[in-house]
Structure 1
Amino acid sequence: MEPVDVVDGDIQRELLRWYKEASSKDAERCLLCFISWILKQECVKLKANFANNHKFSLSDLLPYVLNDNGKEPRPGSPECFSRQILQSFDSTKGSSLTTWTIRKFKQYQPLNKFLLECGVYRISDWAILNDTKLPYLTKVLQNFYNWLNSEIQNAECLLQSYHEVYRLERLKDGRRGTHEKCVAPTTLQLQKIAALIAKKSARVVDSQTVIKELQTLASRLREYRIYKRGGSFLGESIDAPIAGNQADDKSKLRIDEISASVADNLLDENYLEGNKAQFIEDFLEFYRQQSQTYLRQALTSVIESRVEYLQRKKGDKAQNFLIALELSECQNIAMTEIAKRLGIRAQDAVSRLLKLKELYADVHQELLKKEVLKNLGNDIFNHLRDINLYSDLESLKALNKQITDALAEDVSTKISVYLCEYLNTRKN
């Protein structure tokens, strides 16, 4: 008798039938193995997309989801994750076991908490924008990012237009439940959003500009959510890995734009002729020198305070902190590997020792507490005034806040760079 080809789906359905109807342990074990395989593949995807930029390894992820020891659980003991998935699966509701497993994987809080600590927030840009209320947006942009009023007004108009098109159509679509994944807006939706923006604010934008502005806004909201939930700053979307350091690129562009604005609007026209490029170069050089000085002072204060605190504890906590900080932030070593090198029992102990979120927040607060950013803006303001090349002092004063806001954003993105420089200098 020749062998009969059997489709994998048919095998799975038969195994599920044996598991449900006959309580077959063999069928259960086969299904649990299949679920574990799916979970491993999802971890591999996470590692490929995010591990390099967020300092975790595959071995960091797997223990969260592959906790099935192959034995029957004892009465009263917690079920392993794969068994929870199998027991909650209902084949009559239309989804496959694969789809259900992936959905539960994405919702699994222990793993999500770890990823959040690494700066990976498992929700799409479109879902973030969909559930963000306007007062919340205004508060974040005002108090956390110090955006200009004009920028906030544009952001409010953008989000409101997004809600009126994307959210409304999503709620009206009878085929799509409100718990379905938020996908990217269609070209038609982007065109409708652009039309609403033009109607509300008289600002003319095309579809490409709309989607770029939406993604930028979602990125800022994502960063804030990660910060509030105790994760590392900056963060990335689970659905959209980001290549390179876009935050550095954005802040650099912001400073360049400020310098060009100064040259175009405030310099004496006679001087500006043939000297604009040189002025911008000098402006940026002065800015770099001043910002490095202030940021290094803040880093020194925060790190030395942390070291002094840990030196009062038992053991080698202060030395381990400095070593772990360099390995994590400067050499991009995963927490699991750092734990091995330091002889610490687990990666979560390293995370508690470093408290990276608090460290970065403390540096930022040190800058604000000492009014460094304000002083930095004033330094540049005075520099421009002293060289006597402006045409309108009042206009220069009005630009001072814009310069300071740009510096606040720029300095925040460069903390990790100067952190590594400081650690290297301290070690030597």
Structure 2
Amino acid sequence: MPLSPTMVLNAPPRMRSLSPMDSPSEIPSKYWRLVRITASSRISPHLLPTAKTYLAQHLTKGAETATDTAIQAYLLSQWQAAADQITVAEGCLRCYVSNQVEWVCQDLEARFGERYGFTRYELFPFVLDETYPLEPLANSSSETYCSLAADILRSFDPQRASLSTWVTRRVRHHRDLNRFLLQHGVYLVSDWAILNDTSVKQVSKILGEFHGLSPTEVTQAQQLLQSYHGVYRRDRIQQRQAGGGGGCVPPTPEQLQRLAQQLPRALAQKLSEDDLLGQLQALASYLRHYRIHVRGGLVPTESLDRPEIAAVAQGMRAPAPQEDDTAQFLAGFRQVFDQCLQQAIATVIETWLARLQRRQPEKIEPFLKALRLFHCDGLAMGEIARQIGFSQQYQVSRLLKLKALRADIRQHLLQQMCDRTRQLAQAYVDPERLHHLNAQIDAALAERVDSLMATAETEATTQSQHRSQFTVALCRHLDSRR
């Protein structure tokens, strides 16, 4: 079923073909690299030369710097208007969708996998079911098998969301994927959405009968939720009526102030803005656990995403302080580690590029391209040599110097993590004890960073299809430079 005219972005005029001197190799690979999985749920990229050639012939010079919006608008317009090119344009879009689906699974693993016991490879079979995307959707009937990528394109409305946002939304709402995540204790709905669609009447049953809270605690929770509805839900309704949309985001400071004004005075006086936010998230955690339970999932021992804040006098119960602090510290540590890894990679790569600029500026583009082809596209050194104009694959190894690159990133990452981890630990350990723990912290961080680098080295030497945390962060930086 082709898109209707109202569903197509304002398409640009037909673009000229690339001249002979233009190279199609810089066309973003996500439009001609199809993400498929093997029988063991490992990623097996399938390159589509037809799609790559099509893009090279129809996009202007400099397509490697074109925005996704512009490229997708062109492909959508060709899908709609050019009968002889519909199949390939559609295939390019379905390649993009498959790459975005892979990223969503990686993101779910990074956020919840370690804590809740699953990997991206367990998620892939639910949503990466593309076979061969060069069969037009318009030719398929309702009885014909339809992959998730094809279904996503059929339902996509560019007037309502970007394609990446629509893919993310569809994956996160996939029925079988959500059933699997529920079995592991993960419920993919934000705290604010849970509070928004829970009635005040339901709170009595959930908190009183299921969680066993006291009548006083239940009453205060109902008052809190009623005030939340009076501010947050009302604002959401007005926003939708005005044509706005999007997911439920955390309440603003202004909304929290109005919410506090609607609470009984005795309760409002006990709550600072941070306390109020914490109480809302604590309430959402109780409601989340109940929803997981009634849907047949494993109820976690701690909240999915709330920062633990001590309960106010006669307020809702807080978990044991020791468990609370440990969970909060580990969550903070993972976030700091991700940030420091991304920063270390950016610092080292930009330093290397600056050195090349001074000594061998002609090697900057081959270096970046080879780095991307090796880590992000998974190509072998011999193929990379051909694509960047080298005669031997050892020249690529000499250009990239991957071992030295990893060593520099390790040094920067370890230095940043030592400082940031001590700052983080100050909230949980008294200064004297923290001083005595310095050596242990340094040793533990060195072990953690060395493990990361060892995994990255193994991945590089074995051409593994598994994308490590190091590789994901490196490719994210390379994508940001485009």
Alignment of 1:186-197 (within 5 A): 186-197=252-263
Of 280, 284, 295, the match for 1:229: 295
Q: Does 1:183 align with 2:237?
A: no
The equivalent of 2:265 in structure 1 is: 199
Q: Does 1:252 align with 2:320?
A: yes
The TM-score normalised by the length of structure 1 is 0.53
Distance 2:301 2:321 in 1: 20
Alignment of 1:75-90 (within 5 A): 76-90=143-157
Distance 1:5 1:241 in 2: 45
In structure 2, give the amino acid aligned to 1:78. Answer: Y
Structure 2 portions without partners, runs of 5+: 1-18, 23-60, 309-316, 324-482
Distance 1:80 1:237 in 2: 34
1:30 to partner: Cα distance? 1.0
1:190 to partner: Cα distance? 0.9
3-state DSSP of counterpart to 1:79: coil
The equivalent of 1:170 in structure 2 is: 236
The equivalent of 1:63 in structure 2 is: 125
In structure 1, give the amino acid aligned to 2:156. Answer: F
CA contact (8 A) 1:198 1:204 kept: no
The equivalent of 2:53 in structure 1 is: none
The equivalent of 2:62 in structure 1 is: 5
Alignment of 1:268-287 (within 5 A): none
The number of residues matched between the two structures is 249
Extract structure 1 runs of 4+ deviating beyond 6 A. Answer: 235-238
1:210-231 superposed Cα distances (whole Å, 9 cap, x missing partner): 0000000000000000000011
Distance 2:105 2:203 in 1: 33
The equivalent of 1:29 in structure 2 is: 91
The TM-score normalised by the length of structure 2 is 0.48
Of 96, 113, 116, the match for 1:54: 116
1:175 to partner: Cα distance? 6.3
1:11 to partner: Cα distance? 2.5
CA contact (8 A) 2:281 2:306 kept: no
In structure 1, give the amino acid aligned to 2:248. Answer: C
1:149/1:29 CA distance change after superposition, 3 Å: same
Q: Which structure: greater helix fraction?
A: 1
3-state DSSP of counterpart to 2:62: coil
Q: Does 1:19 align with 2:79?
A: yes
Of 176, 198, 215, the match for 1:110: 176
Distance 2:320 2:173 in 1: 37
Distance 2:269 2:285 in 1: 22
1:177 to partner: Cα distance? 5.5
In structure 2, give the amino acid aligned to 1:50. Answer: F
In structure 1, give the amino acid aligned to 2:150. Answer: R
1:223/1:179 CA distance change after superposition, 3 Å: farther
1:179 to partner: Cα distance? 6.0
3-state DSSP of counterpart to 2:222: helix
The equivalent of 1:142 in structure 2 is: 208
The equivalent of 1:280 in structure 2 is: none
1:147-201 superposed Cα distances (whole Å, 9 cap, x missing partner): 1111111111111111111111222235665863111001011112222224375
1:81 to partner: Cα distance? 0.1
1:356-381 superposed Cα distances (whole Å, 9 cap, x missing partner): xxxxxxxxxxxxxxxxxxxxxxxxxx
1:68/1:233 CA distance change after superposition, 3 Å: same
Q: Does 1:209 align with 2:272?
A: no
Distance 2:78 2:303 in 1: 40
3-state DSSP of counterpart to 1:116: helix
1:31/1:45 CA distance change after superposition, 3 Å: same
Distance 1:200 1:122 in 2: 34
In structure 1, give the amino acid aligned to 2:214. Answer: L
Distance 1:38 1:165 in 2: 35
Distance 1:154 1:118 in 2: 31
The equivalent of 1:121 in structure 2 is: 187
Compute the RMSD of aligned alpha carbons.
2.9
CA contact (8 A) 1:161 1:197 kept: yes
1:172/1:94 CA distance change after superposition, 3 Å: closer
